C-alpha cells in the first residue's frame, strides 16, 4: 500500500525593514503605483504625481519614511509615514500584494510603523481610508485607531479619517 504525501514548502516570511534610497526608490514607487491602480481612483487631488516625483525627499527622515516587507527579490508590502508636525504623522500607502495576503503582513507592517513612530517621538498617527480599503479599516480599528475630524478636504465620498494616540 502506498500513501501519497504532499510536501509543502515553508513560505518565506517577509523581513520588515526601512527603505533605503536610492536602491529602493524604483521598486517602492512601483508598488505604490500598483496600490493606486488597485484603488482604481485618481489621486491627483492629493498631488500624487508630485509625491512620486519627489519620493526620496518626501520619504526620508525627518519628513517621512517607508517600511518594506521584503522576500528575496520582491517587495511583498509596504507602509509609509509622513510627518505633519513634531507630534503628528500620517500613515501612508499601506499595501500588501495579493500573493502575500492572509498572513497578517499588513498588521505586522502597522505594528512596526507604530513602534517607529513612537521611537521618533510622535504623539499621534492619523490616516484617511477610502471605501476600497474596508479590510484595512478593520485592522486600523483593531489596532486602536478611532474616528477623527478630516485633516484635509477630500472629494472622495465615504472616506474615513482615523487617529491613534501613541
Spell out the alpha helix ranges (H) of the chain.
Answer: 25-39, 48-53, 55-58, 105-119, 134-142
Residue 64 in domain: yes
Give residue 80's domain range: 15-122
pTM of the model as a whole = 0.89
Return the H-helix or E-strand segment holding 153. Answer: none
Residue 8 in domain: no
pLDDT at 154: 67
Provide the mean pLDDT of the chain.
90
Residue 158 in domain: no
Q: How far apart are the first and last CA of the chain?
A: 61
Pairing assessment for the beta strands 146-147 and 64-71 based on DSSP bridges: unpaired
Instruction: Name the pLDDT band for 11 (thresholds 50, 70, 90).
Output: low
Total tally of structural domains belonging to the chain: 1
Amino acid at each position: 500500500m502506498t500513501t501519497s504525501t504532499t510536501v509543502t514548502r515553508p513560505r518565506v516570511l517577509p523581513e520588515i525593514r526601512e527603505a533605503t534610497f536610492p536602491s529602493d526608490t524604483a521598486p517602492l514607487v512601483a508598488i505604490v503605483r500598483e496600490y493606486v491602480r488597485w484603488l482604481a481612483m485618481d489621486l491627483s487631488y492629493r498631488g500624487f504625481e508630485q509625491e512620486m516625483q519627489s519620493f526620496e525627499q518626501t520619504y526620508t527622515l525627518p519628513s517621512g519614511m517607508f517600511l518594506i516587507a521584503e522576500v528575496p527579490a520582491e517587495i511583498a508590502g509596504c507602509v509609509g509615514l509622513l510627518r505633519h508636525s513634531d507630534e503628528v504623522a500620517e500613515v501612508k500607502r499601506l499595501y500588501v500584494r495579493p500573493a502575500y495576503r492572509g498572513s497578517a503582513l499588513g498588521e505586522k507592517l502597522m505594528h512596526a510603523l507604530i513602534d517607529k513612530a513612537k521611537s521618533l517621538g510622535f504623539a499621534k498617527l492619523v490616516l484617511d481610508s477610502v471605501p476600497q480599503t474596508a479590510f484595512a479599516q478593520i485592522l486600523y480599528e483593531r489596532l486602536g485607531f478611532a474616528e477623527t475630524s478630516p485633516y484635509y478636504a477630500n472629494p472622495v465620498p465615504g472616506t474615513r479619517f482615523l487617529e491613534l494616540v501613541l
